[in-house]
Structure 1
């Protein structure tokens, strides 16, 4: 059910929020996906009753009334400890912009979902608190993508309709692609990152995952427009045509395509062919900035020094407790000279300007790439540190260029690969073009269909009859 309709039903009469809460609790209790580090059924019921009480008193609880939201354990959330994927709780952390905005609009919070330790990784693995199960493999425990590792699993188990994540180099889009849902990274700086443990003060964003673009667009607008009252409107947000005819989609000549597994690339190519048949202009474009931006991100010259500065300043006692997967990657960060750090920022700003000038000159509305270049690997294949590092680099490589260029980006599920795992189509838009990108992504979804249309139900998720439906039954 679209969240717009959920909220309308809750606002229409008393008892709707409690029904939503009880359904979320039942689904969570029946799930074995390990999405959450903490789920509080009592707190959820109290939130629901407060919403229903407001409705009974003829007070409007808001446009997201009764919508269940899971929260990545990187956010401060009242009533819950904050561990950020570590071995012990951090000092008290207040709620910030995104949580408070959702609370004011009537959303109710289900609990805290798993994250990679301090969000420092794209695979989704966490030896400290546990690794959620990717619902698409009925036999092996495959990684869910990270660092918002429990977000997609919380959506598929049915306990949440929106999942909060953070995205520095791809930590919303990666789990969205890996688990077959939709994930949106807003333009860097679009929303405040208050109330969230930082990884990179330069590149961190807060954002959301949901089952459909339409759900994300509805929630994004509800949050974004009041927050930006009085700001200059986004230039690309006006007069966006309905549908895909005339939409100019650039397919970049880039390693985002050439480094992708052939089975993954084929699924995305078929989706683009469907868009072309529906009237979109799918055009080749040179985009060397994407490859260079990706190399710069993966070199660690920005994210690692910023994270080390934060943890040495705020949590120095935590450093000896870091899992070796995280700790060994930080050893080189202390050796990044200040001049190299400053030069990296200056260079990424130049790359971003060139990329945006190129899009404007060629009248490209958005870029299209595979979100992930590989199929989500089994957990058992990552036991060796070198295997983990290789998979982590691969899973970040498709999403980090847009982050480095301060662009907005979304991942949509478009099919299953040869291993019956989800494949995401990444659409990248210009900075500050968030509303336009969401409108265009909704038009794309209207042509291609939702995740249920494209993928079917994951094998580990009941279809409602008590049996399991294999993902291979869905069309690719």
Structure 2
């Protein structure tokens, strides 16, 4: 058995086919990934390698596959997890110096356990922005992996699931997992030319996952194909695997949301998004361009209250550690965390109320359309050295990185980012009302086939 030379281009599903057809062994594959991880020449996206565990899981998978008794379509597939997920006997550090001496977890997070039960192999845990509070992917005390697409200079990877994006894009795993509170799966997926799913709140368990803002935290996969996303979603949500329903392009109705979502876009981003939308339209997809009042009003309200509820909930969750160990914190994370301290209860009440109201209005006013589309991120990834040591510059780019993605979190939508037809790290985001995750994934498969075609 030999690892194919072009395996870096394979999706997790492609790799699973090789495994299940006994073309390669899970043990060989795990060793192959560890060789790549350990020889990786740029800042390594992994913070913890669970090598002993992975090799045991690989051996168990190998035995099952030899007996034609796989636990799932992805039995034997090696994956990586953001260091917010508990691994039994490992400390969940969450990119924070203040947590590095915590007691190791007594058991796996529910999601990690579900993956294990499906036969997935846990290679290790990946870098994150401290406590997951940031969209650029920097971490001054641990690791800032570098963007995998633009190599002219070291650029940010996107956050907060920075390591999960870089590990997968660098083919140091077959798929990866992150959390998304304001865009933290979709941003690194977009900026590393991957597919990333922000699931509906409550669809996937958060048990054993480090909390940032409980009203918005979600778990989601990053992958190289929509089929991968569908299988990983089914595994983590404990729902049946589903086959894609072929959609007639002429029956798909989308809204290209304009207004603030395309303001201050880099020219390259705007040009590529227009090209992508035109490609969908030429394939027969019905697309109207419209400024969406509910999105505009929600964005305006969040701006008025310094980003609002997310940073307030984050401070309320972590205030004891923040107040005690402020000197240990990444200063950009600390600055945002402390802004949450100053958001009063009346502001929070106003934002929560607006989110509920506008979420319902969106659903009622646009129920005849299948989804909203928009740029995932309005800008290309900035240079690391520009944002790491300048609070004003960091805040500017971080706000832009999160601007479009956080709307889906605030308005309780599920969302997915797809790579656009360019070599640049630019993504098209598709959003649907909550609890339509399967429908969203199915639509994404159809649209992705058009975009790639």
Q: Deviation per CA, 1:343-397, whole angstroms, max 9, x where unpaired?
A: 221111001111111211xx11011111111110011221311101101001000
Q: Does 1:426 align with 2:429?
A: yes
Residue 20 in 1 paired to residue 29 in 2? Answer: yes
Decide which of 81, 100, 104 is 1:92's aligned counterpart.
104
1:229-252, Cα deviation, whole Å (9 max, x unpaired): 9xxxxxxx9996525332111012
Whether 1:435 aligns to 2:417 is no
Deviates more, 1:116-125 or 1:316-325: 316-325
8 Å CA contact retained: 1:165, 1:207: yes
Distance in 2 separating the partners of 1:281 and 1:89: 54
**Which stretch shifts more, 147-156 or 280-289?**
280-289
Q: Determine if the alignment matches structure 1 residue 412 to structure 2 residue 418.
A: yes
Query: Cα deviations across residues 384-413 of structure 1 (Å, max 9, x unaligned)?
Result: 111011010010001111110000101111
Aligned partner of 2:449 in structure 1 is 446
**Corresponding residue of 1:321:** 328
RMSD over equivalenced CA pairs, Å: 2.4
Runs of at least 5 residues in structure 1 that lack an aligned partner in the other structure: 230-236, 454-476
Gaps of 5+ in 2: 1-9
1:90 to 1:358, Cα distance in 2 relative to 1, 3 A: farther
Distance, in Å, in 1 between the alignment partners of 2:170 and 2:154 is 16
Structure 1 residues 239 and 135: alpha-carbon distance in aligned structure 2, compared to 1, 3 A threshold: closer
- 1:64 to 1:318, Cα distance in 2 relative to 1, 3 A: farther
Q: Structure 2 CA distance, aligned partners of 1:443 and 1:134? A: 28
Aligned ranges 1:457-468 → 2 under 5 Å? none
Aligned positions of 1:43-442 closer than 5 A: 43-56=53-66, 59-87=69-97, 88-93=100-105, 94-224=107-237, 226-227=238-239, 241-298=246-303, 299-312=306-319, 317-360=324-367, 363-382=368-387, 383-416=389-422, 421-442=424-445
Distance 1:444 1:425 in 2: 10
Q: Distance in 1 between matches of 2:117 and 2:444?
A: 27
TM-score by length of 1: 0.86
For 1:251 and 1:396, how far apart are their aligned partners in 2? 19
Q: Given that residues 130 and 139 in structure 2 are in contact (C-alpha distance below 8 angstroms), is that contact kept between their aligned partners in structure 1?
A: yes
What CA distance in whole angstroms lies between the structure 1 residues aligned with 2:321 and 2:336? 19
**TM-score normalised by structure 2 residue count:** 0.90
Range with bigger deviation, 116-125 or 335-344 = 335-344
